[in-house]
Structure 1
């Protein structure tokens, strides 16, 4: 019988490089996916993933399997590091250290595109605010935290089918809310 991922992480905490290599092999795809969902930029996500595994190597000795699975522990680190990167990038922009927003081709984003993007973000925030607390938490954990439905059920202390219902109903409400125009905005005003 193969040692569990948790056991490999515990061994890595004692300096076992092979055990840590196994941890990396078994989790790197999910860690990168979690980060990529937050950053949306593969190059940055790969940099952050590297930081996550450096941090995991250094702090593996503090991993406590009684507090959760090794995968959840790594994904929490990954999500926190990705959010930190977003915040750091935003802080640089706020201080004027980065050039104006650019699209993937490298040309400046038009004012209309910036307004549409900020409108989309506002619509998402408004839609999330309309969800129940449990629906919002489930969606945030799944979409931004990279947690599986099973991990969310463990985290919330509810049955798996309850989490599935929260996600399904919450996503339906989000779709309906995102289709509605923002209050005080004329949806055709930008296209004129």
Structure 2
């Protein structure tokens, strides 16, 4: 409960203090219209806050990276639902982030409790739990399979940014390429991933 309150406080502080060099509200509205360049700019603006909140709630590095990727894909996919008349873009994104992070923690805790119960009772896992576990594994495999459809340069950029938590400038430095090139790779890579996963804007 204390961790949840801290995370919620972080969301509120982040959304109140955020101004955004290019205006997150405007960028998100452009993303809703399918503007890939705006998505790259929005990523630069929000990625640090998003990953920071996820990391504080989830704690586990690998799971934090997965949740971060899920959030950014959800921002791209559901940007059309953002209503500037009901609040700021940063608040909308950070609320989404917090929800995803808490869901992951609850899922992990539930899985741990199920495993403990199954082990203690010495019985097989119920069918519905098996289906849930298989579905989650299939989703992970699908993402890994879709990564193979990216070019090597796109895949390197996506993995460094989403799975290892590097910012665009850091990715550019690690790969030794201009920042603009990294942004282009990321946009094209995310669009290919979206199409491969069957996600529509």
Bigger share in helix: 2
- Greater relative CO (CA pairs within 8 A, separation 6+): 2
Task: Point out the structure with max Rg over C-alpha.
Answer: 1
